[in-house]
Structure 1
Amino acid sequence: MSTVTETGLLTSREIITGEELGSVPLATSGAVLSAARRAAAAAPGWAATPAAERAAILDRAADLLLERAQEAQDLLVREGGSITGKAFYEVHAGAAELRHAAQLATAPQAPHGPGSDPGRDTEVRRVPLGVVGVIVPWNFPVLLGMRSVAPALALGNTVLLKPDPHTPLSGGRLFAEVLAAAGLPEGVLEVVYGDADAGAALVRSPDVSMVSFTGSTEVGREIGATAGRLLKRVVLELGGQNAYVVLPDADIEAAASAGSWGSFLHQGQICMAARRHLVHRDVVESYTEALARRAAALRIGDPYRTDAQIGPVIDRGQLTRIATAVEDAVAQGARLVTGGTVQGQFFPPTVLADVTPKMSVFHAEVFGPVATVTSFADEEEAVELANTSDYGLTAAVYTSDAEQGRALASRLRCGVVHVGDQTVNHDPHLPFGGVGASGNASGFGGQAAIDAFTRWHTLTVSSPARSYPF
């Protein structure tokens, strides 16, 4: 959590104790615009920097991030409520994003076919966009920040980064320090700290050519509308109401293990979390019992001082929203199997059974540790239920028959599907992005990152120079 002082500082505090962790300057709209101008001034020089040099800086940054791994992990735990295992993974995943971006910087560009006029020499290549604005959420600030910052820098853009006010240190200051120490020139990465006003100024800045936003669908729609009006490129990675489909041939204990991880990791505060467990009616009771048993056994507590598996929810407002969603679901006929009641700063892993598409909890994203269970009779109904959502981020099909799972997965309307696994997976080399209310398709990973953070530039040369009738 964070507080704002009278002197204009944003102070980050530990969620559990309120202890001060550090302060950063709170940016006014004017300060955001000034930072964007500095990034724009640095853009030509950075774009002209040899790709191998850009790659070397990013590789050094990965080394430096890992040298500071314990410090970064502690920040993620204390500032954002991560458990230690999640924090460890996130720091190393952030380093992997830097290394993957370094590879993108020096990768040969895919050849483009010649033009139709044999008398013209043609050169077609991808070039940087200029200044890329990056707005990062609090739940995975290192990973989700590096996922945009690293490839944008690698491909020759400068970056204006705004972390979430809940996590200004792990999502902002850490980036600036590590990349500066790695040799990134001044102005190539500008970090601004603030709330929605700072984010709006970033999006509107005439010096920002593109916006990469990860966060809620509601805010994403506003950013998309503004970017569209200003004719800016925008990558939106938004919410998810992800389906986890369990077929009748599944090993129930293994399926429940994967389902528990997918729903309750980081207190369910993950866009990729398994929210809707769609389970064949022949195994729905045994699966629900196994999932609830695992949920009830998870250790709840302070992840910085204990070996807790479930840490605190990010703030009191989010606790209230989770509790209200569970209460409404029960009032509409859902069966509360385990959990369901606020415990101080925590919300216990919760399983709701007998959920139907007529209930709001089936459709609305509950950004917390709540798994809903809905039964289906056959694969046709499973596909219909999975696709009955405005969202389309990730999904998973759990089965012992990989080919059957592959066939069902091809019918699900979303950006990413995992067969024989759960919904929370990340690979910097693979495209990632959702459809519908989950975003505007892939903007991250491999070729998708190149497509997102560069544009085409076409050059033709006629020799001798041409003349025309008038």
Structure 2
Amino acid sequence: MLTIESLSNQYINGQWREGQSDHVLINVNPYSGDILSEVKMATVTDVDLAYKAALKAKDDWDKVNPYKKRDILEKAVQYIEAHEEEITNIIIEELGGTRLKAAFEIGLVKNMIKEAATFPLRMEGKILPSTEDGKENRLYRIPVGVVGVISPFNFPFFLSMKSVAPALGAGNGVVLKPHEETPITGGTLIAKIFEEAGLPKGLLNVVVTDIKEIGDSFVEHPIPRIISFTGSTKVGSHIGQLAVKNFKKPLLELGGNSAFIILEDADIDYAVQAATFSRFTHQGQICMSANRIIVQATIYDEFIKKYKEKVSSLSVGDPKDPQTIIGPVVNERQANNLQAMIDNGIEEGAKVVLQGNISGNMVEPTILKDVTPNMTIAQEELFGPVVCVMPFETEDDAIAIANDTKFGLSGAVHTSNLEKGVELAKKIHSGMIHVNDITINDEPIVAFGGEKQSGLGRLNGQWSLDEFTTLKWISLNYGQRSFPY
């Protein structure tokens, strides 16, 4: 049976063992405050052993038949399906995620692995003509070698798997460092799944630790060729600079400040539902969450009235309760940050539509209206159940407000004129935007990634295959060239 306690160890070179640090990571339930488990942390030496194991196992993985690789990845999906209830309970206990959130995340994970399972059969090359007579040019698609993955706490099962499964499917070894708030869901649970699926020992390693223990060694280690990081823009900037300095490719999925634009011809009732889901799913702890609801002035008051009514109906409490929509944020530090952001927004002139209580890790929904683009609360990512509502007069105003941010991840436009929505969406500087839909979208074969300070690179489908492989040119001269000297 899968439990947090049974998975509270390091997974290095196919062995479940303690880390070599004297320090212990304490895994706490964010709702109850109960200690779930304790993990002896990995050290710099453990990180080194993990990378060396991945590199060695990668050579063996190269020899495995592509159809066998596909079968192993498909078995990982089967294992998840057979243990879905246990995984759901782990997500609830460790993340404070609701049952609805757990089902959503598990579904994303299964689809991602299914797509990655096709990668071993898609390692295609090309034969190209040459300017030289009697010569042939071949391009081989090959794995980069070893990939280092650093995942966040909000959707750790999926956002770890989003890089781990494609990297494995493309033929690489992997070392995964989950966030210290979610070492099981984002780390050792994934190791267990692939172990049971038959992945060769050492190919996937999980090191549970924190930056105080290992510093920058995970990124600076000479073995990994790619560092895939999902998390905050501030940390991502540091990791990206370290990676480039050490001639590694950074893949960065970073923060967002998504705009949810509602034009006057939109279906208001539907927009209210979509805006609620876009902001309050998993307590707003999603990089694609709608931070700013931008509403045309002619329907502004009507929208706010209906939006307040809808948001006020959301149940807040124990994530184990199937009726709960909003559970705890990840820790009290995050709750305190949200309180400070709300207070600052009010001081800067935002008006309160709905202000929920904040106690410990529990943050009830807050809606602030008449927010202007220059306010701090409109410029920074709100990683919690707090939302800004902003009026606009013309479509050009809406575009200007939406683009007035350093981020560029996701967004949404609501209108009864779909093509007008598309034309407006084209003018928003973001990697993704959705017409008459929510801001939270991720599909296994569609390019996912941000612009500006929301990241570098694209993942999913062919884009993941491209990111986790490289092309090698081998030419063959069937004759003899003539040389000028």
Bucket of the pairwise TM-score, normalised by the shorter protein = over 0.9
CA RMSD of aligned residues (A): 2.0
Pick aligned residue for 1:307 from 323, 330, 333:
323
- Paired residue type of 1:404: K
CA–CA separation in structure 2 for the residues paired with 1:410 and 1:151: 29
Cα pair 1:135 1:199 within 8 Å, conserved: no
* TM-score calculated relative to the size of structure 2: 0.93
Counting only pairs closer than 5 Å after superposition, residues 93-104 of structure 1 correspond to structure 2 as 93-104=108-119
CA–CA separation in structure 2 for the residues paired with 1:125 and 1:272: 36
In structure 2, the partner of 1:373 is 389
CA–CA separation in structure 2 for the residues paired with 1:28 and 1:43: 23
Counting only pairs closer than 5 Å after superposition, residues 27-176 of structure 1 correspond to structure 2 as 27-107=42-122, 109=124, 111=126, 113-176=128-191
- Paired residue type of 2:478: S
State whether structure 2 residue 264 is matched by structure 1 residue 245: no
In structure 2, the partner of 1:255 is 271
* TM-score calculated relative to the size of structure 1: 0.96
DSSP 3-state at the match of 1:461: strand
In structure 2, the partner of 1:468 is 483
Shift in Å at residue 395 of structure 1?
0.9
Shift in Å at residue 7 of structure 1?
5.1
DSSP 3-state at the match of 1:375: strand
Shift in Å at residue 363 of structure 1?
0.6
Shift in Å at residue 117 of structure 1?
2.8
- Compared CA separation, residues 171 and 108, structure 1 to 2 (3 A): closer
CA–CA separation in structure 1 for the residues paired with 2:163 and 2:142: 17
In structure 2, the partner of 1:14 is 29
CA–CA separation in structure 2 for the residues paired with 1:395 and 1:92: 22
CA–CA separation in structure 2 for the residues paired with 1:6 and 1:201: 15
Measured against aligned partners, the alpha-carbon deviations of 1:370-414 in whole angstroms (never above 9, x if no partner) come to: 111111111111111111111000011011211111111111110
Residues matched between the structures, number: 469
- Paired residue type of 1:178: I
CA–CA separation in structure 1 for the residues paired with 2:260 and 2:321: 33
Counting only pairs closer than 5 Å after superposition, residues 275-290 of structure 1 correspond to structure 2 as 275-290=291-306
Cα pair 2:21 2:43 within 8 Å, conserved: no
CA–CA separation in structure 2 for the residues paired with 1:118 and 1:247: 62
Pick aligned residue for 2:225 from 209, 216, 222:
209
In structure 2, the partner of 1:188 is 203
Measured against aligned partners, the alpha-carbon deviations of 1:288-313 in whole angstroms (never above 9, x if no partner) come to: 11111111111000112462110001
Shift in Å at residue 14 of structure 1?
1.6
Measured against aligned partners, the alpha-carbon deviations of 1:118-172 in whole angstroms (never above 9, x if no partner) come to: 4211111221001100001010011111110000000000000000111111111
In structure 2, the partner of 1:218 is 234
DSSP 3-state at the match of 1:413: coil
Cα pair 1:126 1:457 within 8 Å, conserved: yes
Pick aligned residue for 1:412 from 416, 420, 428:
428
Shift in Å at residue 105 of structure 1?
2.2
Shift in Å at residue 5 of structure 1?
12
Shift in Å at residue 116 of structure 1?
3.0
Aligned-residue sequence identity (percent) comes to 36
DSSP 3-state at the match of 2:272: helix
Q: Which stretch has the larger CA shift, 10-19 or 420-429? A: 10-19
Gaps of 5+ in 2: 9-18
- Paired residue type of 1:350: T
Cα pair 1:292 1:337 within 8 Å, conserved: yes
Shift in Å at residue 210 of structure 1?
0.6
CA–CA separation in structure 2 for the residues paired with 1:237 and 1:114: 38
Counting only pairs closer than 5 Å after superposition, residues 348-367 of structure 1 correspond to structure 2 as 348-367=364-383
DSSP 3-state at the match of 1:416: coil
Pick aligned residue for 2:345 from 329, 346, 349:
329
- Compared CA separation, residues 288 and 117, structure 1 to 2 (3 A): farther
